[in-house]
Amino acid sequence: MFARRLLATRAPWATILVRFLVGLVFLSEGIQKFLDPDALGVGRFAHIGIPEPQIMAPFVGVVEIVGGSLVLLGLLTRPAALALWINISVAILSTKVPILLGHGFWGFTLPKLAHYGFWSMAHEARTDFSMWLGSLFLLIVGAGCLSVDAWLSGTEAEAKGSPSKNRCR
C-alpha cells in the first residue's frame, strides 16, 4: 500500500519534460565529478570547504548519477527527487549564499568573482534554482503518467480506464 502511494501519480504527460530537464542535468553533473575531479569533484569540494572532500565528492556524484537516472526513467521518482532536492539545497548554501553575502558562510569559501551580492548570486545560481524547483515539483506531483512509477502503481491504467480521471494525453 505504501509503495503504491509512493509511486502513484496523476500528473500529466508533460511532466516528462521536467523529468528530462532535471534528470539530464543531474546525471551530467554527477558524471563530470568523476571525469574532472580537480575542477568539479574532490578538488572543487576541497576548495569550497566541504569536509572530507575525498568522500563527499564521489558520494554526491553517485547521488546525482543514480538520482538523475531514476528521474529520467520515472522510477522511484519521489525518493530520487528528494535526494536531489537535498543535494541542490546544500549546493546553494555552500556555493551561492557566500556570493550573496560577499563573504564566507559556515566555513564555505567565497569564490573570486567580479561582483558579489544579489545579482551576481542570481546569475551564478540560475541552474541551481531551476534544479531546486524542478526537484521540488517532481517530489510533489510524482513522475507523471508516462513513467515506470505510473505503470508499477497502476495509476496509468486507472486514468485510461475512467473518463473522470486525469488521462495521459
Cell 505504501 belongs to which residue? 2
Q: How confident is residue 169, by pLDDT bands cut at 50, 70 and 90?
A: low
Contact between 145 and 11 (Cβ < 8 Å): yes
Contact between 9 and 135 (Cβ < 8 Å): no
* Residue spans per domain, the chain: 2-161
> What pLDDT digit, counting tens, does each position of 97-155 carry?
988 988 877 768 777 778 888 999 999 999 999 999 999 999 999 999 999 999 998 86
Using alpha carbons, select from 70, 67, 68, 126 the residue that is nearest to residue 95.
126
103 phi and psi angles, rounded to 5 deg: -155, 170
